[in-house]
Each structure stands twice: as C-alpha cells, then as structure tokens.
Structure 1
Amino acid sequence: MRELPRQLTADELAELFEGRTRFVERLAEEPDPLRRAAALVHELPADEKREILDAHPAIGQRSGLSRRSAAEQGGDADPAVLEELAALNAAYEARHGFRFVVFVDRRPKSEILDVLHERIGRPTADELETALDELVAIAEDRWRRG
C-alpha cells in the first residue's frame, strides 16, 4: 500500500478520477492533491461536481471501461443483476441529474443493488455530497493499490 503522494500530474490524477476534468486540472496544482481533493470537491460549482461524477462509468457498465474500472467492478455478470443495475442507474440519473458513484471496494454487484436502492430516494443535495465523497475514496484507493 502506498502513502498518499505529495504531488501528482494531471495525467496521473485523470487516471485516478476517470478523466481530465477541470477538477483534475486544479488538483494537479496542489501540493497534496489527494488530501486536498476531499475538501476541494465540495467547494466546486454544481456544474463541475456533475462533470466529475459523470466522468465515471456507470456501475454494471460492460463496455468502454478503463482498466481500473473493469478490475474494480469485477466479473460477476448475472444478467438479472446487470439488468436491474441498468434500470436503477437510469432512474437515479433521471432523479438526481448525475451519475451514481459508489466505492465498490470489491463487493459483488448484487450488494451494490442494495446501496443503489437506498441512495436513489435520498434528497439530491445530500446524495451529491455522498457521491463526491465516494469519488474521492475511489481515487485514494486506486493510488494506494497502485
């Protein structure tokens, strides 16, 4: 397990955060980017918050995944679970206006269904902040695992 870095380039951060967004560009200028990310992510304007969430692939997505996302999402491909995830992801995005992001932490997709069922009905403002916290947790885990 690696310690959090003192400095990272925009390209390194883009890999951790699934894309080179305005947020990633800002973080690249920070001396402790992953430590700073936890606070900075909540200070962003609403459009930038949505931009970084929407850069992440949908949970259960089967194509167009980065190497890291594919490994994290695992291979449990029960068609019924994938179908339910797709329907819930669409309902979540319609309700909240941004992609559902969760730190999977190697849990099977069937367990993520429970999380998605719980979070879909939450107030959008609360859910936005939770999704941003999850996004940072994913990036930190990616860095530590290498």
Structure 2
Amino acid sequence: MTASPNQPSALGPEAFVAAYAGVYEHSPWVAEAVVGGLSPADDEPSALAGRMAEVVEASGRERQLELLRLHPELVGKIKLGETLTAESRREQASARLDACSQEEFSRFQALNEAYNARFGFPFIIAVTGLSRADILDAFQARLGNSVEEEFRTALDQVHRIARIRIDALANG
C-alpha cells in the first residue's frame, strides 16, 4: 500500500511538501518546516494543523504579513478572470462568490479597496459554510477593527483555512 495525503507521516519529504504546499496560500515553506519532524501523531488532522500553525506563529510579523498578502481578494479575481489557486477557487465557489450580482460585485470591490487601504493586506475569511451576505457583513464589521486586532483576526482566519484544507486532504 502506498502512502497518501491522509497519512502524512508515511509520505516522503518531497511527497509531503507536494501534497501540503497549498495548505497555506502560496507558502510551501510552512510544509517544508514541519516535514522533518513528522510522526504518526501528525496523521491526525488537528495535530498537523497545530504544528503548521506553530510554524506560522513563530515566523515573525514580516513573514506573517507576507503570508497575508499572498491571499487573493474575495470576488475580485474570480470576476476579472484572474488565476486563483485550485484551493481558493474551490473555496470561493463553495460560497457562490463566483455568482455575485453586479451590486454584490461592486460592494466587494469597494470593501476590498477600503480594507486594503486601511490594513495593507486583503480581507481574509474562511468562506466555507458562509453565504455571500455573511461574508459581506463580516467584511463591513471588520473594517472597524484596529490594525492589531485585524492582523490577529486575519491570521486566525488563515489558520482556519489551513485546517479546512488539511481536513480535505485527510478525507481525500
């Protein structure tokens, strides 16, 4: 029997990085940082998610900011035909962000602009299980956060997205 992504500890280093490089958006360095110390305990999605989150948390503010900036704007890239990662495309489509009305699209664009101007990185939310209205409400509410509060919230959302992606790999 060959190892699969639902058995990360049984994967070789290259196979693990190939399977888990997309867990954190455009940041294979997170998978590369944990691959050397994998154990059978890491076959449990919550354990692996915790290990990967620890890497991000220990990486320092500049690297974290870089990670946040690698996330796509919501709706913008889908509607404008720009390329998203397969994971982001699937997640945004699950919230039907690819089916926005012109009014919703305009609202997302305005919120994206305001958010980026205020915080210096795109709005990040784990969209799985949310409706467009839920996302727009959260978007509007989070614009009122302090820079520090929103930085923490965005990182927490990145970790939620990573956990969703790890669960998807585990359930392959």
TM-score, normalising length: structure 2: 0.72
Local SS of the residue matching 1:16: coil
In structure 2, runs of 5+ residues without a counterpart are 43-47
- Give the Cα separation in 2 of the matches to 1:4 and 1:39: 20
Aligned to 1:141: 164
Alignment of 1:104-143 (within 5 A): 104-143=127-166
State percent identity of aligned pairs.
28
Paired amino acid for 1:44? S
How far 1:22 moved relative to its partner? 4.2
Cα pair distance change 1:4/1:34, threshold 3 Å: farther
Cα distance in 2 between the residues matched to 1:26 and 1:126: 27
The TM-score, its normalising length taken from structure 1, stands at 0.83
Equivalent in the alignment of 1:67: 86
* C-alpha contact (below 8 Å) 1:92/1:99 kept by paired residues: yes
**1:143–1:22: structure 2 CA closer, same or farther, 3 Å change rule?**
closer
The counterpart of 2:51, out of the listed 36, 42, 63, is: 36
Gaps of 5+ in 1: none
| Residue pair 1:73, 1:106 contacting (<8 A) in 2 also | no
Residues 43 and 106 (structure 1), Cα distance of their counterparts in 2 relative to 1, 3 Å cut = same
Cα distance per residue 1:53-91 (max 9 Å; x no partner): 111111113121122211211232212111111111121
> Do the aligned partners of 1:72 and 1:106 also contact (CA within 8 Å) in 2?
no
Cα distance in 2 for partners of 1:5, 1:129 equals 28
